[in-house]
Amino acid sequence: MDPLLQSLIIENDKKIVLLVLDGVGGLPAEKNGKTELETAKIPNLDNLARESECGLHLPIDYGITPGSAPGHLALFGYAPLSFPIGRGVVAAMGIGFPMKAGDVAVRVNFATSDASGNITDRRAGRIPTEKCDELCKLLSKVNIPGIEVFVQPVKDYRACAVFRGPGLSDHVADTDTQKVNEKPLDPKPTSEKGKKTAETAKEFIRQARELLKNEKPANDLLMRGFAELPHIPSMKDRFRLDPMAIAVYPDYKGVSRLVGMTVEDSCTDLAAQMSALKNNWEKHTFFFIHHKYTDSKGEDGDFAAKVAEIEKVDKIIPEILKLKPDVLIVTGDHSTPAIMKSHSSHPVPFLINAANIRADETTAFGERECAKGLWGIIKSPILMQIALAYADKILKFGA
Amino acid sequence: MDPLLQSLIIENDKKIVLLVLDGVGGLPAEKNGKTELETAKIPNLDNLARESECGLHLPIDYGITPGSAPGHLALFGYAPLSFPIGRGVVAAMGIGFPMKAGDVAVRVNFATSDASGNITDRRAGRIPTEKCDELCKLLSKVNIPGIEVFVQPVKDYRACAVFRGPGLSDHVADTDTQKVNEKPLDPKPTSEKGKKTAETAKEFIRQARELLKNEKPANDLLMRGFAELPHIPSMKDRFRLDPMAIAVYPDYKGVSRLVGMTVEDSCTDLAAQMSALKNNWEKHTFFFIHHKYTDSKGEDGDFAAKVAEIEKVDKIIPEILKLKPDVLIVTGDHSTPAIMKSHSSHPVPFLINAANIRADETTAFGERECAKGLWGIIKSPILMQIALAYADKILKFGA
């Protein structure tokens, strides 16, 4: 958002709800067929679409597949190319680790390697979080002179390491080749600045392998996304919103913390998320509600299960509407077509509902219906501008 | 394309075909009538449109009429305003002239002038290429101390002159007023840097008129588009594609060479172009197939002939589909409505077909059907981004 336009933003009590079905955008399972969203029985969302303004949004750019962090940043009103966030930071923020300026965080995946050091399972048989916790405690024995090392569990086989000390930087390449039957790479600096961190990480891995050598299946580890804390203005400073995140998964809490959201940390399912929304309704002016499993089922390639997750979200719509949000956006952070088993570049359907709108001719909440919506295809951060406007939070520009 | 996004591009074997019907966009011949494309009987393209994602594209900007070179650059994924190419360079590249840095090329049109020097025919009665060749040989007698001069035929009345020597620049205005019954202008520098080139061109014209004085009808010449070689990164460097151009007309081969395409130089018609496509299918990852005559007939103002040219292209669609391209784009480089007898600024219809797409409700390949397509109106270079994405050539951005 242009700084001049940003200066027009005012604070008021009106409430904006952003409901994100992670990876909701999809593709037909067969030629001329329907997408997941077009298949789902979602009477509440379809009704809402009929009374809303609809369109498709692009988190980053045409043809670009968004990761989760930039996908969400874009929905929060931040152009992702202007605010790159490394994977390590997303992981650290997700578990609420209090990173400081100069810290370097990195995502650690526990893995299995064979006698010759080749990776045989990049996820160590998807060990449970409890086991991950235990291994992280074991790794706290790593001792690197002059550097503080923090190792904390994230979820399943995923952990996060943070290095703290002078002269560190995130100019270090991943050790994870993303392939099996290969040795992991040594951490290598990508510039002179990354030298000390690369050496630190190398020593960490050496000691960690020693500590893990008798573990089964998690006798090895992979590192991805060395990252320093980026400088991102808060939603309070940028949009004069008092935002709250109501999410289940750590990574999404992490991105929310990066933009200064209050994070509801206790929810484990949609019902709890709805209770949290009700209980905190008077306290905030922006609510981000996140449902992860649409994306997970898409990544699994399970079309029917993704459809079922979409239908679950449909059922909470009346509860949200009962609170009478001034603006309600329903959308995804990117597409995750089940037939692709991955995120994709396809634009994401959205609806925006508010008092003063021109409901368009969209008759259902789906990719091709939203393509007929009045907004056409827009870059995702524009959604926040429209939401602020429809919540009467932007003054007139010019006399 | 943002450099950060460009860094996400990977190389793979998937094949992209870009089929360009030059100037295909049109206008109705009468109020509420159909355009050339809407009139044409094109069952193959209509079928393809039904199974594709459609839209309209703008090569340069709203309201801007593209020349051939920027129109094609835009389709090749280069924002034309960032890579200006002079007409002289297009002509030189088209005939395969090996320009060097510092050379200045200019398009030369043989013309007819009367006794007082007023132009009576800007195309010298459209003399055949053989005559043009002969005249160019005659002009090789021009002698300018310290400057090498090359004059070569292009097609019909069109030729190309290249000046080589120290201190030359392309800061020189056209001599062609684009009007008849007027004298051509003297070549004038548009800045101090153009002074020497303007003097060189003036001397060239003086000697040329002397050499041509007894020719009928080509007793004069006009110069357009003084141009130096621009610095354009190749499609290989920019998009990691191995591109081939299969075109008949010299200018389009020229633009293709500028972006580093291998140029198939022997084709004279669509049948030969299809053979070349088949014969080279395994050797490249990007194929640009160009059909000129849709534009020529539009320029001639011959609505029915333009319709017939579109129908000719429709017949080759099954041959292209038989090769199973991973991505197929069918479009034009600009509009050339027969009723305007010229290029125009109207957005150009396109379809893009690939495995993982959301076929939209476009029921035919035409301007107004494509306007209903899901992409809406986009800038032309975006098409390349979408094509790369649909050929799985762009990595995910961010964690």
Per the CB < 8 A criterion, the answer to whether A346 and A24 are in contact is: no
B3 pLDDT exceeds 90? Answer: no
Quote the tokens at residue A244: 């709250």
pLDDT of A399? 78
Co-location of B264 and B381 in the same domain:
yes
Q: What is the pLDDT of residues B24-68, one digit of tens each?
A: 999 999 988 999 999 999 999 999 999 999 999 999 999 999 998
Q: Please tell me which of A1-10, A188-197, A225-234 the model is most confident about, judged by mean pLDDT.
A: A188-197
Co-location of B59 and B106 in the same domain:
no
Q: Does A398 reside within a domain?
A: no
- The pLDDT > 70 percentage for chain B reads 100
Q: Of chain A residues 315-354, which have a CB less than 8 A from chain B?
A: 337, 339-340, 342-347
Tell whether A254 lies on the interface with B, counting CB pairs under 8 A: no
Q: Does B397 reside within a domain?
A: no
B351 pLDDT exceeds 90? Answer: yes
Tell whether A368 lies on the interface with B, counting CB pairs under 8 A: yes
Q: What is the pLDDT of residues A126-179, one digit of tens each?
A: 999 999 999 999 999 999 999 999 999 998 999 999 999 999 999 999 999 989
Contact B399 A107 (CB under 8 A): yes
pLDDT band at A87 (very low <50, low <70, confident <90, very high): confident
- The pLDDT > 90 percentage for chain A reads 90
Expressed as residue numbers, the domain containing B254 is: 3-83+232-390
Q: Give B-chain residues touching A37 at CB under 8 angstroms.
A: none
> Could you give the count of Cα atoms lying within 13 Å of A297 in the half-sphere of its Cβ?
21
pLDDT band at B14 (very low <50, low <70, confident <90, very high): very high
pLDDT band at A234 (very low <50, low <70, confident <90, very high): very high
Q: Does B244 reside within a domain?
A: yes
Q: Give B-chain residues touching A35 at CB under 8 angstroms.
A: 358
Contact A80 B357 (CB under 8 A): no
Q: Does A33 reside within a domain?
A: yes
pLDDT of A56? 98
* Mean model confidence pLDDT for chain B: 96
Contact B394 A69 (CB under 8 A): no
For residue B281, the 8-state DSSP code is: G
Average pLDDT over residues A36-48: 98
CATH number, position B347? 3.40.720.10
Task: Please state, as a whole number, how many other Cβ atoms lie within 10 Å of the Cβ of residue B342.
Answer: 14
The whole-angstrom separation of Cα B286 and Cα B283 is 9
Q: What is the pLDDT of residues B370-383, one digit of tens each?
A: 999 999 999 999 99
- The pLDDT > 70 percentage for chain A reads 100
pLDDT band at B307 (very low <50, low <70, confident <90, very high): very high
The whole-angstrom separation of Cα A367 and Cα B302 is 41
Co-location of B155 and B303 in the same domain:
no
Size of interface A-B (CB pairs under 8 A): 95
A85 pLDDT exceeds 90? Answer: no
pLDDT band at B4 (very low <50, low <70, confident <90, very high): confident
- Dihedral angle over CA of A288, A292, A293, A298, nearest 10: 110
A111 pLDDT exceeds 90? Answer: yes
A352 pLDDT exceeds 90? Answer: yes
Distance of residue A368 Cα from the nearest chain B Cα, in angstroms: 7
pLDDT band at A370 (very low <50, low <70, confident <90, very high): very high
Tell whether B180 lies on the interface with A, counting CB pairs under 8 A: no
Q: Identify which has the larger pLDDT, A95 or A120.
A: A120
Final residue belonging to a domain, choices B208, B227, B246: B227
Tell whether A85 lies on the interface with B, counting CB pairs under 8 A: yes
Measured on CA atoms in the order A68, A69, A75, A81, is the torsion positive or negative? negative
A272 pLDDT exceeds 90? Answer: yes
CATH number, position B94? 3.30.70
Co-location of B250 and B375 in the same domain:
yes
pLDDT band at B84 (very low <50, low <70, confident <90, very high): confident
Q: What is the pLDDT of residues B261-302, one digit of tens each?
A: 999 989 999 999 999 999 999 999 999 999 999 999 999 999
Contact B397 A66 (CB under 8 A): yes
Ranking A93-97, B114-118, B188-192, B304-308 by mean pLDDT, the lowest is A93-97
pLDDT of A86? 87
B399 pLDDT exceeds 80? Answer: no
pLDDT of A156? 93
- Sequence-separated contacts (24+) of B368-372 with Cβ below 8 Å: B368/B35, B368/B38, B369/B38, B369/B49, B369/B54, B370/B49, B370/B54, B370/B55, B370/B56, B371/B55, B371/B56, B372/B54
Co-location of A95 and A26 in the same domain:
no
pLDDT of A123? 94
Contact B389 A81 (CB under 8 A): no
Q: Give A-chain residues touching B358 at CB under 8 angstroms.
A: 27-28, 35, 346, 367-368, 371
Q: Does B398 reside within a domain?
A: no
B389 pLDDT exceeds 90? Answer: yes
Q: What is the pLDDT of residues A201-211, one digit of tens each?
A: 999 999 999 99
Co-location of B152 and B257 in the same domain:
no
DSSP string covering B204-224, please? Answer: HHHHHHHHHTT-SS--EEEEE
| β-pairing verdict for A158-164 and A148-155 | antiparallel
B137 pLDDT exceeds 90? Answer: yes
pLDDT band at A72 (very low <50, low <70, confident <90, very high): very high
Co-location of A246 and A376 in the same domain:
yes
Contact A87 B359 (CB under 8 A): no
Contact B51 A63 (CB under 8 A): no
Q: Does A396 reside within a domain?
A: no
Q: Give A-chain residues touching B388 at CB under 8 angstroms.
A: 63
pLDDT of A3? 85
Give helix B195-212 / helix B129-139 axis angle, nearest 10°.
110
Contact B374 A86 (CB under 8 A): no
Per the CB < 8 A criterion, the answer to whether B199 and B182 are in contact is: no
pLDDT of A387? 98
Q: Does B318 reside within a domain?
A: yes
Q: What domain count does chain A have?
A: 2
The whole-angstrom separation of Cα B62 and Cα B71 is 13
pLDDT of A151? 97
pLDDT of B5? 87
Co-location of A252 and A385 in the same domain:
yes
Tell whether B376 lies on the interface with A, counting CB pairs under 8 A: yes
Co-location of B187 and B144 in the same domain:
yes
Q: What is the pLDDT of residues B185-243, one digit of tens each?
A: 999 999 999 999 999 999 999 999 999 999 999 999 999 999 999 889 999 999 999 99
Final residue belonging to a domain, choices B174, B192, B227: B227
Co-location of B65 and B144 in the same domain:
no
Average pLDDT over residues B94-112: 92
Per the CB < 8 A criterion, the answer to whether B1 and B381 are in contact is: yes
Q: Taking Cα atoms as reference points, which of A109, A65, A66, A72 lies closest to residue A88?
A: A109
Co-location of A260 and A366 in the same domain:
yes
pLDDT band at A96 (very low <50, low <70, confident <90, very high): confident
Average pLDDT over residues A98-111: 94
Q: Does B50 reside within a domain?
A: yes
> Could you give the count of Cα atoms lying within 13 Å of A243 in the half-sphere of its Cβ?
26
Per the CB < 8 A criterion, the answer to whether A298 and A337 are in contact is: yes
Contact A343 B396 (CB under 8 A): yes
Co-location of B214 and B260 in the same domain:
no
Its ipTM equals: 0.84
Which candidate from B5, B361, B375 shows the least CB-CB separation from A61? B5
Final residue belonging to a domain, choices A161, A192, A227: A227
The whole-angstrom separation of Cα B147 and Cα B199 is 11
pLDDT band at A349 (very low <50, low <70, confident <90, very high): very high
Distance of residue A337 Cα from the nearest chain B Cα, in angstroms: 9
Contact A84 B360 (CB under 8 A): no
Tell whether A184 lies on the interface with B, counting CB pairs under 8 A: no
| β-pairing verdict for A377-379 and B286-291 | unpaired
